[in-house]
A = this chain, B = another copy of it.
Amino acid sequence: MNSQEEVIDFVINGHKDYLPHVSIDSVIFGYHHQQLKILLLKWIGHIGWGLPGGFIKRREPLTDAAYRILKERTRLSDLFLQQFHVFGDSPYRAQERSPAEFREKYGAVTSEDNWLFQRTLSIGYFALVDYSKVDITTDFFTNDFYWCDVNEVPFLLFDQNEVVEMALKMLRLAIYHQPIGYNLLPEKFTIPEIHSLYQTILGKELDQRNFSKKLLTLGLIKKLDERRSIGPHRSPYLYQFDKANYEEALKEGIVHTY
Protein backbone atom coordinates (compact mmCIF):
# COMPACT_ATOMS: atom_id res chain seq x y z
CA MET A 1 0.00 0.00 0.00
CA ASN A 2 2.14 2.82 -1.20
CA SER A 3 0.27 5.39 -3.24
CA GLN A 4 -2.21 7.77 -1.76
CA GLU A 5 -4.91 6.44 -4.09
CA GLU A 6 -4.42 2.95 -2.76
CA VAL A 7 -4.67 4.17 0.79
CA ILE A 8 -7.82 6.14 0.20
CA ASP A 9 -9.36 3.17 -1.52
CA PHE A 10 -8.44 1.03 1.46
CA VAL A 11 -9.99 3.45 3.90
CA ILE A 12 -13.18 3.91 1.90
CA ASN A 13 -13.66 0.44 0.45
CA GLY A 14 -11.55 -1.81 2.63
CA HIS A 15 -14.59 -3.25 4.35
CA LYS A 16 -15.54 -4.94 1.11
CA ASP A 17 -12.31 -6.93 1.07
CA TYR A 18 -11.58 -7.29 4.74
CA LEU A 19 -13.53 -8.41 7.78
CA PRO A 20 -14.34 -5.44 9.98
CA HIS A 21 -14.14 -5.61 13.79
CA VAL A 22 -11.20 -8.00 13.79
CA SER A 23 -7.54 -7.42 13.23
CA ILE A 24 -4.25 -9.16 13.73
CA ASP A 25 -1.38 -7.76 15.78
CA SER A 26 2.01 -9.42 15.48
CA VAL A 27 4.77 -9.32 18.02
CA ILE A 28 7.82 -10.18 15.95
CA PHE A 29 10.73 -11.31 18.06
CA GLY A 30 14.26 -11.18 16.79
CA TYR A 31 17.56 -11.72 18.56
CA HIS A 32 20.59 -9.55 18.07
CA HIS A 33 23.63 -8.60 20.14
CA GLN A 34 22.42 -10.66 23.04
CA GLN A 35 19.17 -8.80 23.11
CA LEU A 36 15.66 -9.93 22.49
CA LYS A 37 14.03 -7.40 20.22
CA ILE A 38 10.60 -6.75 18.83
CA LEU A 39 9.75 -4.96 15.65
CA LEU A 40 7.96 -1.65 16.07
CA LEU A 41 6.52 0.55 13.36
CA LYS A 42 5.98 4.25 13.21
CA TRP A 43 2.43 4.86 12.10
CA ILE A 44 2.27 7.91 9.99
CA GLY A 45 0.99 10.94 11.84
CA HIS A 46 0.96 9.18 15.19
CA ILE A 47 3.48 10.23 17.75
CA GLY A 48 3.94 6.79 19.15
CA TRP A 49 5.06 3.44 17.89
CA GLY A 50 2.91 0.43 17.26
CA LEU A 51 2.96 -3.22 16.36
CA PRO A 52 2.79 -4.50 12.81
CA GLY A 53 -0.63 -5.82 12.03
CA GLY A 54 -3.37 -5.97 9.51
CA PHE A 55 -6.79 -7.21 8.59
CA ILE A 56 -8.16 -10.55 7.49
CA LYS A 57 -9.50 -10.90 3.98
CA ARG A 58 -13.08 -11.96 3.79
CA ARG A 59 -12.36 -15.38 2.35
CA GLU A 60 -8.94 -15.91 3.83
CA PRO A 61 -8.28 -18.45 6.56
CA LEU A 62 -7.09 -16.79 9.74
CA THR A 63 -3.74 -18.54 9.79
CA ASP A 64 -3.09 -17.55 6.20
CA ALA A 65 -3.84 -13.96 7.08
CA ALA A 66 -1.31 -14.02 9.90
CA TYR A 67 1.40 -15.41 7.61
CA ARG A 68 0.53 -13.01 4.83
CA ILE A 69 0.75 -9.98 7.09
CA LEU A 70 4.10 -11.13 8.37
CA LYS A 71 5.43 -11.85 4.95
CA GLU A 72 4.34 -8.50 3.57
CA ARG A 73 6.29 -6.86 6.34
CA THR A 74 9.41 -8.98 6.68
CA ARG A 75 9.60 -10.84 3.37
CA LEU A 76 10.13 -13.98 5.43
CA SER A 77 8.04 -17.04 5.04
CA ASP A 78 10.09 -19.45 7.12
CA LEU A 79 9.29 -18.53 10.65
CA PHE A 80 7.68 -19.63 13.84
CA LEU A 81 4.24 -18.14 14.23
CA GLN A 82 1.80 -18.76 17.02
CA GLN A 83 -1.51 -17.29 17.99
CA PHE A 84 -1.52 -16.44 21.67
CA HIS A 85 -4.48 -14.31 22.71
CA VAL A 86 -7.40 -12.21 21.59
CA PHE A 87 -7.56 -8.74 22.99
CA GLY A 88 -10.93 -7.16 23.24
CA ASP A 89 -11.46 -5.93 26.74
CA SER A 90 -10.98 -2.35 25.78
CA PRO A 91 -13.96 -1.78 23.49
CA TYR A 92 -12.81 1.66 22.51
CA ARG A 93 -9.58 1.01 20.76
CA ALA A 94 -10.97 2.72 17.68
CA GLN A 95 -11.55 5.95 19.54
CA GLU A 96 -8.02 6.97 18.78
CA ARG A 97 -9.06 7.37 15.15
CA SER A 98 -11.42 9.95 13.67
CA PRO A 99 -12.54 11.37 10.32
CA ALA A 100 -10.61 14.56 11.07
CA GLU A 101 -7.43 12.62 11.61
CA PHE A 102 -7.90 10.64 8.42
CA ARG A 103 -8.54 13.73 6.37
CA GLU A 104 -5.44 15.35 7.75
CA LYS A 105 -3.07 12.44 7.41
CA TYR A 106 -4.22 10.60 4.35
CA GLY A 107 -6.50 13.07 2.64
CA ALA A 108 -9.29 10.55 2.96
CA VAL A 109 -12.82 11.76 3.46
CA THR A 110 -14.62 9.40 5.81
CA SER A 111 -17.73 9.42 7.90
CA GLU A 112 -18.09 8.49 11.55
CA ASP A 113 -19.30 5.04 10.65
CA ASN A 114 -16.32 4.13 8.48
CA TRP A 115 -15.22 0.58 9.18
CA LEU A 116 -11.87 1.71 10.56
CA PHE A 117 -13.49 3.70 13.35
CA GLN A 118 -15.46 0.80 14.67
CA ARG A 119 -14.57 -1.37 17.55
CA THR A 120 -11.93 -3.91 16.60
CA LEU A 121 -10.82 -7.01 18.42
CA SER A 122 -7.20 -7.87 17.98
CA ILE A 123 -5.88 -11.37 17.58
CA GLY A 124 -2.34 -11.52 18.87
CA TYR A 125 0.30 -13.63 17.16
CA PHE A 126 3.91 -13.87 18.09
CA ALA A 127 6.60 -14.70 15.60
CA LEU A 128 10.21 -15.71 15.95
CA VAL A 129 12.42 -14.62 13.10
CA ASP A 130 16.05 -14.64 12.18
CA TYR A 131 16.93 -11.00 12.65
CA SER A 132 19.65 -11.09 10.05
CA LYS A 133 17.36 -12.36 7.32
CA VAL A 134 14.60 -9.85 7.80
CA ASP A 135 14.06 -7.18 5.21
CA ILE A 136 11.50 -4.76 6.55
CA THR A 137 9.05 -3.12 4.21
CA THR A 138 7.45 0.14 5.14
CA ASP A 139 4.50 1.67 3.35
CA PHE A 140 2.25 4.66 3.23
CA PHE A 141 0.86 4.05 6.71
CA THR A 142 4.13 3.17 8.34
CA ASN A 143 7.08 5.23 7.38
CA ASP A 144 9.63 3.99 9.86
CA PHE A 145 10.52 0.98 11.97
CA TYR A 146 12.97 -0.11 14.60
CA TRP A 147 13.95 -3.16 16.53
CA CYS A 148 13.27 -2.45 20.15
CA ASP A 149 14.76 -4.25 23.14
CA VAL A 150 11.93 -6.01 24.96
CA ASN A 151 13.05 -4.40 28.17
CA GLU A 152 12.73 -0.91 26.75
CA VAL A 153 9.40 -0.89 24.99
CA PRO A 154 8.04 2.65 24.75
CA PHE A 155 4.41 3.59 25.15
CA LEU A 156 2.55 2.01 22.26
CA LEU A 157 -0.66 2.79 20.44
CA PHE A 158 -3.94 1.48 21.72
CA ASP A 159 -3.49 -1.27 24.27
CA GLN A 160 -0.49 -2.74 22.55
CA ASN A 161 1.78 -2.62 25.56
CA GLU A 162 -0.45 -5.27 27.06
CA VAL A 163 -0.15 -7.27 23.85
CA VAL A 164 3.63 -7.21 24.02
CA GLU A 165 3.66 -8.17 27.67
CA MET A 166 1.40 -11.11 27.05
CA ALA A 167 3.42 -12.20 24.04
CA LEU A 168 6.55 -12.30 26.14
CA LYS A 169 4.79 -14.24 28.83
CA MET A 170 3.54 -16.75 26.29
CA LEU A 171 6.95 -17.04 24.68
CA ARG A 172 8.43 -17.83 28.07
CA LEU A 173 5.77 -20.43 28.61
CA ALA A 174 6.30 -21.85 25.13
CA ILE A 175 10.01 -22.29 25.68
CA TYR A 176 9.26 -24.92 28.31
CA HIS A 177 7.12 -26.94 25.95
CA GLN A 178 8.63 -26.65 22.58
CA PRO A 179 12.06 -26.18 21.22
CA ILE A 180 12.72 -22.54 20.44
CA GLY A 181 15.69 -21.23 18.59
CA TYR A 182 15.49 -22.61 15.13
CA ASN A 183 13.93 -19.43 13.83
CA LEU A 184 15.91 -17.05 15.98
CA LEU A 185 19.41 -18.28 15.32
CA PRO A 186 21.43 -18.81 12.19
CA GLU A 187 21.74 -22.34 10.81
CA LYS A 188 24.91 -22.95 12.79
CA PHE A 189 25.52 -21.49 16.19
CA THR A 190 27.71 -21.91 19.23
CA ILE A 191 26.75 -23.03 22.70
CA PRO A 192 27.43 -19.61 24.16
CA GLU A 193 25.10 -18.13 21.56
CA ILE A 194 22.14 -20.36 22.22
CA HIS A 195 22.85 -20.24 25.91
CA SER A 196 22.70 -16.50 25.85
CA LEU A 197 19.52 -16.59 23.77
CA TYR A 198 17.75 -18.70 26.35
CA GLN A 199 18.97 -16.54 29.18
CA THR A 200 17.75 -13.48 27.38
CA ILE A 201 14.33 -14.90 26.68
CA LEU A 202 13.83 -16.17 30.18
CA GLY A 203 15.41 -13.13 31.72
CA LYS A 204 17.53 -15.16 34.09
CA GLU A 205 20.89 -16.86 34.34
CA LEU A 206 21.28 -20.49 33.43
CA ASP A 207 24.30 -22.57 34.32
CA GLN A 208 26.06 -23.03 31.01
CA ARG A 209 27.26 -26.58 31.66
CA ASN A 210 23.88 -27.81 32.75
CA PHE A 211 22.20 -26.00 29.95
CA SER A 212 24.21 -27.52 27.15
CA LYS A 213 24.01 -30.92 28.79
CA LYS A 214 20.24 -30.59 28.76
CA LEU A 215 19.93 -29.65 25.12
CA LEU A 216 22.26 -32.47 24.15
CA THR A 217 20.45 -35.00 26.33
CA LEU A 218 17.16 -33.99 24.76
CA GLY A 219 18.81 -34.49 21.42
CA LEU A 220 17.73 -31.10 20.18
CA ILE A 221 21.14 -30.00 19.01
CA LYS A 222 24.18 -31.77 17.68
CA LYS A 223 27.81 -30.84 17.63
CA LEU A 224 29.53 -30.22 14.31
CA ASP A 225 33.15 -30.68 13.46
CA GLU A 226 33.59 -27.00 12.70
CA ARG A 227 34.48 -24.11 14.91
CA ARG A 228 34.03 -20.42 14.65
CA SER A 229 36.87 -17.99 14.98
CA ILE A 230 35.97 -15.26 17.43
CA GLY A 231 39.09 -13.18 17.86
CA PRO A 232 41.57 -13.60 20.65
CA HIS A 233 39.68 -16.39 22.36
CA ARG A 234 39.28 -20.06 22.25
CA SER A 235 37.27 -21.04 19.17
CA PRO A 236 33.86 -22.41 20.05
CA TYR A 237 32.42 -25.44 18.31
CA LEU A 238 29.46 -24.98 16.05
CA TYR A 239 26.18 -26.77 16.63
CA GLN A 240 23.06 -27.36 14.63
CA PHE A 241 19.51 -28.25 15.54
CA ASP A 242 18.66 -31.88 15.01
CA LYS A 243 15.80 -31.48 12.58
CA ALA A 244 14.08 -34.76 13.34
CA ASN A 245 14.18 -34.47 17.12
CA TYR A 246 13.32 -30.81 16.92
CA GLU A 247 10.18 -31.46 14.91
CA GLU A 248 9.26 -34.29 17.19
CA ALA A 249 9.60 -32.07 20.24
CA LEU A 250 7.58 -29.34 18.56
CA LYS A 251 4.77 -31.78 18.04
CA GLU A 252 4.91 -33.74 21.24
CA GLY A 253 5.88 -31.05 23.66
CA ILE A 254 8.57 -31.28 26.28
CA VAL A 255 8.52 -30.66 29.98
CA HIS A 256 11.75 -29.60 31.51
CA THR A 257 13.68 -26.99 33.39
CA TYR A 258 16.92 -25.47 32.23
Q: Which residues of A contact B (CB under 8 A)?
A: 19-22, 56, 58-64, 83, 85-91, 119, 121, 123, 173, 176-177, 253, 255, 257
Contact = CB atoms under 8 A, between A and B. Distances in A.
6 contacts: A19-B21, A58-B91, A60-B91, A61-B88, A61-B91, A86-B123
A61 B90 contact: yes
Q: How many copies does the complex hold?
A: 2
State the 5 A-B residue pairs at the shortest beta-carbon distance, nearest first.
A62-B88, A61-B89, A19-B21, A59-B91, A63-B89
A85 B177 CA distance: 17
A61 B86 CA distance: 11
A94 to B, nearest CB: 11
A221 to B, nearest CB: 22
Contact of A83 (B56, B86, B255): B86
Contacts of A59: 91, 119
Given A19-B21, A19-B119, 6 more contacts: A19-B121, A22-B121, A62-B86, A62-B87, A62-B89, A83-B85
A62 B121 contact: yes
A257 B255 CA distance: 8
Contacts of A64: 89
A252 B170 CA distance: 13
Contacts of A91: 58-61
Contacts of A173: 177, 253
